[in-house]
């Protein structure tokens, strides 16, 4: 969909017609939110028209990322490079959306704004790929030098053995500037529950004693 999103009123009318087709003149037999769920949790995989439209808009982020066509020069010039945008959190998307008067690209940016939060399920891998900057879950101002030197995601703070780098290690690896207070501010801003998940992942699992075969 390369047009601006319809209004909420239009979405509601489409939804009304869809469910009228299913139920006829009678009232809905199943809640509409439930209808859009998958079969295994009692749904019927009914299309949620607003979510479907948002997914179509998200596909333009993929095109922007993967294509090298002339049209990508427009969003690059308007919003900056796509790779930089994908390394910051959804708060930045809000600022970008407010800065543009192009309704189509505003819809695209706002669709991507909702995407990271929809994916996050407290899984360790997804936590480590969370952006440090402009993240609603991490109350932290951008440290430009860190971002410019590749420290953009939580995973950039984590060593190959799964533990957080110490301050000097992080400075040596990423060649960042700043003080220990900057490091402490970043580490404190990451939610404790996330750090606990990451720490649990890095801890070796204890193996109990092996019972002799002849005992």
Q: Is residue 88 part of a domain?
A: no
Q: Give how many domains the chain has, as a whole number.
A: 2
At residue 169 the predicted structure's pLDDT band, cuts being 50, 70 and 90, is: very high
The predicted structure's pLDDT at residue 9: 92
115-119's contacts with Cβ under 8 Å and 24+ in sequence apart are 115/58, 115/90, 116/89, 116/90, 117/90
Q: Domain range for residue 197?
A: 124-202
> b/e per residue, 146-185, with b = 16+ CB within 10 A?
bbebebbbbebbbeeeeebbebeebbeebebebeeebbee
The predicted structure's pLDDT at residue 4: 84
- Would you tell me how many other CB atoms lie within 10 Å of the CB of residue 58? 14
At residue 81 the predicted structure's pLDDT band, cuts being 50, 70 and 90, is: low
Alpha-carbon distance 186 to 142, whole Å?
A: 10
How do residues 144-155 score in pLDDT, each as one tens digit?
999 999 999 999
Alpha-carbon distance 85 to 79, whole Å?
A: 8
Q: Is residue 145 part of a domain?
A: yes
Locus of tokens 């992942």: 201
Q: Is residue 162 part of a domain?
A: yes
Q: Is residue 66 part of a domain?
A: no
Report the alpha-carbon angle 57-59-64, nearest 5. Answer: 105
Locus of tokens 């053995």: 161
How do residues 99-151 score in pLDDT, each as one tens digit?
888 889 889 888 888 775 555 555 545 788 889 999 989 999 999 999 999 99
Q: Is residue 6 part of a domain?
A: no
Contact 170, 183 (CB under 8 A): yes
Q: Is residue 67 part of a domain?
A: no
pLDDT at 207 over 60: no
Q: Is residue 28 part of a domain?
A: yes
Q: Is residue 93 part of a domain?
A: no
- In this prediction the pTM is 0.67
């Amino acid at each position: 969909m390369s047009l601006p999103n319809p209004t909420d009123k239009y979405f509601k009318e489409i939804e009304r017609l869809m469910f009228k087709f299913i139920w006829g003149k009678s009232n809905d037999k199943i809640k509409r939110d439930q209808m859009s769920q998958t079969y295994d949790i009692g749904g019927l995989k009914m299309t949620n028209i607003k979510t479907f439209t948002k997914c179509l808009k998200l596909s333009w982020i993929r095109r922007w990322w993967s294509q090298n066509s002339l049209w990508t020069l427009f969003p690059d010039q308007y919003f900056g490079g796509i790779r930089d945008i994908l390394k910051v959190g959804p708060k930045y998307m809000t600022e970008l959306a407010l800065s543009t008067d192009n309704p189509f690209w505003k819809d695209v940016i706002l669709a991507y704004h909702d995407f990271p939060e929809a994916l996050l399920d407290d899984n360790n891998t997804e936590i480590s790929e969370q952006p440090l900057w402009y993240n609603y879950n991490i109350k932290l101002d951008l440290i430009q030098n860190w971002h410019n030197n590749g420290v953009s995601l939580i995973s950039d703070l984590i060593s190959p053995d799964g533990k957080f780098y110490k301050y000097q290690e992080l400075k040596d690896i990423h060649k960042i500037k700043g003080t220990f207070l900057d490091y402490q501010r970043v580490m404190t801003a990451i939610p404790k529950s996330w750090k606990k998940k990451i720490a649990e992942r890095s801890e070796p699992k204890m193996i109990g004693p092996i019972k002799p075969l002849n005992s």
